Amino acid sequence: MHTSEKFIQYQTMRKNHWDGIACQLDHWNGWGGYYRGRLQKVYQFHIPAGMNVLEIGCARGDLLAALEPSRGVGIDLSFEMIERAKQRHPALVFVQGDIHEIELDEKFDYIILSDLINDLWDVEAVFHKIRTWSKPSTRIILNYYSRLWEWPLALAQKLHLAQRTLPQNWLSVEDVKNLLYLGKFEVIREWEEVLAPLPLPLLSAFCNRFLVRLWPFRSLAMTAFTLARPIPETAPVTSAASVSVVVPARNEEGNIGQIFERVPQMGSGTELIFVEGHSKDNTYQTIQQEMQKHPEVKAKLLRQEGKGKGDAVRLGFANSSGDILMILDADLTVPPEDLPRFYQAIHTGRGDFINGVRLVYPMEKQAMRFFNYIGNKCFSLLFSFLLSQPVKDTLCGTKVLWKKDYEKIAANRSYFGDFDPFGDFDLLFGAAKMDLKIVDLPIRYAERTYGTTNIQRWKHGWLLLKMVVFAARRIKFI
């Protein structure tokens, strides 16, 4: 039998199978309702309402509808599933057909494949296809069964407690990562869900919110999730972007002149936005004087009414005009000459959020006190665990992101609350919640040459720890 004949036979068998399951679901749901509800909650966490969403393998369309898309398109091989989806969710668009062959002339914000790739004939071909329906900002989210659950699922099916399935692909996490790479996607994060697929009072919630996040329990999870984005095109970027460099400045009078002299012009133009925050020296007047001395530099001076660096950064970002937003600490411990490296990394699509890292290269002897260094190391481990992305340095002052992404973070700030006086956590948690690709960029950390640090080691360390515990409940143990 030729491959094409085997393919037709494979698809026909699955179409007939899922047509039968659709009819069965009219009067029987088995014990899968709790499992599907848990998946729905996970997808809702990652996909805000009002997005353009495509679901491949949509079945009766319940997951797609739960995401409240502005435009939702569902594709399924089964005629009977699609007919029921149209009846249940008339506001959405449903297409019956083989994903290997369907053509669409549109692009989506999110493309999801829930419990589908185990059933596909050619996973790589499907990934290549959905690449053409993706924008640079599109996110692909898929979940698939762990092989560890092959026998328990088979037993549940024999006992008529779960839907019957045909022979599965049983792909590993590494298999999926490799197939996505072949389809021109790169993985942002991977994680596990669902230890207890049945609605056991208290126990299921504890297992599925907490234990599944921890070793060794996560290796026993029923389903794996992978979140990916299109690999940026390798062609050189021709259109330059404008840049706003926000400089929070409190008691930094002696550094202001160097900032004007050392911050380079980047992209199509760079503006400096100084936010002076209740200085006891002449920082505000010095900025005014330097602006007059350097009329060639596009600069803006704001006076902070609130408190804390986080408040200053938010004020600066709100008054920025650049396509790319950067933070530069006025103490100049991060050399301004390094900023073009951040510009290059974000403008070429290497990441969506570029995070400066002080802990890779050797730093100057007095640049960071010993206990501060230990604290930063500990928080980097905590953050890498919480965000499911490697973050080596949480409190480096230099962070860079697109303004359009910051505006989304700001619009959804209520999810975490205005709890961060430093600004670093607000941005990192917001970026992780939006599934932005966070990329660490090492810099050489320098000593201060003027003034003293505004960080109070023990007081701020305790505050940071409380913020981590709070955020863990909102982003990790959902």
State the pLDDT at residue 326. Answer: 98
Same-domain pairing of 246 and 188: no
In this prediction, residue 31 carries a pLDDT of: 73
Residues 338 and 400 in one domain: yes
One digit per residue, pLDDT tens: the chain, 478 residues? Answer: 446 889 999 999 999 999 999 999 888 776 778 999 999 999 999 999 999 999 999 999 999 999 999 999 999 999 999 999 999 999 999 999 999 999 999 999 999 999 999 999 999 999 999 999 999 999 999 999 999 998 888 888 888 777 888 888 999 999 999 999 999 999 999 999 999 998 889 999 999 999 999 999 999 999 999 999 999 986 445 578 999 999 999 999 999 999 999 999 999 999 999 999 999 999 999 999 999 999 999 999 999 999 889 999 999 999 999 999 999 999 999 999 999 999 999 999 999 999 998 887 776 655 566 666 776 677 778 878 888 888 888 778 899 999 999 999 999 888 877 766 677 788 998 999 999 999 999 988 888 766 665 555 556 567 777 777 877 888 888 8
Considering the domain architecture, whether residues 101 and 223 belong to the same structural domain is answered as yes
Within a domain: 288 = yes
Provide the whole-model pTM.
0.88
Chain centre to alpha carbon of residue 108: 17
Is residue 417 helix, strand or coil?
coil
Whether residues 30 and 148 share a domain: the answer is: yes
Q: Are residues 132 and 201 in the same domain?
A: yes
**In 3D, which of 301, 398, 297 has the Cα closest to residue 343?**
398
Domain-located, residue 326: yes
Last residue of a domain, one of 230, 250, 281: 230
Do 7 and 46 have their domain in common?
A: yes
Considering the domain boundaries, does residue 280 fall inside one? yes
Whether 237 maps to a domain, the answer reads no
Residues 6+ apart with CB under 8 A from 152: none
How far is Cα 53 from Cα 108, in angstroms, rounded to an integer? Answer: 6
- Residues 226, 257, single domain; the answer is no
Task: Residue 160: give its domain's CATH number.
Answer: 3.40.50.150
pLDDT of residue 2: 47
Nearest to 124 by CA among 180, 48, 75, 186: 180
**Residue 348's domain spans which residues?**
242-475
Asked whether the beta carbons of 99 and 77 are under 8 A apart, the reply is yes
Q: Of 175, 198, 230, which closes a domain?
A: 230
Is residue 447 located within the same domain as residue 331?
Answer: yes
Q: How far is CA 239 from CA 73, 193, 326, 348, in A?
A: 32, 41, 19, 11
pLDDT of residue 416: 77
Burial of 305 (0-12, 13-18, 19+ CB in 10 A): exposed
User: What pLDDT score was predicted for residue 276?
Assistant: 96
Under a CB-based contact definition with an 8 Å cutoff, are residues 131 and 230 in contact? yes
Domains contained in the chain, number: 2
Judge if 255 and 219 occupy the same domain: no
Strand partners for 442: 357
Residue 235 lies in a domain: no
Residue ending a domain, choose from 197, 230, 263: 230
Residue 236 lies in a domain: no
197 and 118 share a domain? yes
pLDDT at position 62 is 97
Whether 286 is covered by a domain: the verdict is yes
The reported pLDDT for the residue numbered 300 is 97
